[in-house]
Amino acid sequence: MMYSNFVLGNAQVQSLYPIVYCSDGFCELTGYARAELMQKSCACHFLYGTETSDRFTAQIQGALDERREFKTELVFYKKEGAQFWCLLDIVPIKNEKGEVVLFLVSHKDITDKKKDQDPEHGGDTVLAIADADEKKYSRLPHNLQWQRSV
């Protein structure tokens, strides 16, 4: 069965942004029960592991702190330790006054897509390429941001 994989985070609790709702699909994808996830950060630190990019995790926290949209692909880990590639999308949700009150954080498993890009080596080469790209782009000015058209 196909579910939408997302959590909703409370944008009004600064720096933590606790999960106030998580979908069945998110629980199924990650292996966590809903009760284990409530009040944890919607940045989903509990999914981070050794191959999770520090640069992207810092950008995730920055997007939440600055209340802006952010989208990236990165490696996460399920509860039992299995690695998966995730297309992460953070969308701030505003109230009628224009204040950001919630974050919709969606997670799409793109592991198969990544393996298709390099079927001979699975995800290993993709990880190496991502790591090389990270070093290459780390020399860019830190204030450079990707603009996402709506």
Residue 136 CB neighbour total at 10 angstroms: 9
pTM of the predicted model as reported, rounded to 2 decimal places: 0.76
Percent of the chain with pLDDT over 70: 76
Query: Is the pLDDT reported for residue 67 higher than 60?
Result: yes
Domain covering 6-111 in this structure, CATH number: 3.30.450.20
Q: Considering the chain, what is the average pLDDT of its residues?
A: 83
Query: Is the pLDDT reported for residue 13 higher than 80?
Result: yes
- Sketch the domain layout of the chain as residue ranges: 6-111
pLDDT tens-digit series, residues 68-91? 999 999 999 999 999 999 999 999
Q: Which long-range contacts (CB under 8 A, 24 or more apart) does 82-89 make?
A: 83/49, 83/51, 83/123, 84/29, 84/109, 84/111, 85/109, 85/110, 85/111, 85/113, 85/114, 85/123, 85/126, 86/47, 86/110, 88/60
Return the pLDDT at 80: 97
pLDDT tens-digit series, residues 118-137? 655 444 444 444 444 444 44
Percent of the chain with pLDDT over 90: 71
Return the pLDDT at 3: 55
Return the pLDDT at 133: 43
Return the pLDDT at 119: 54
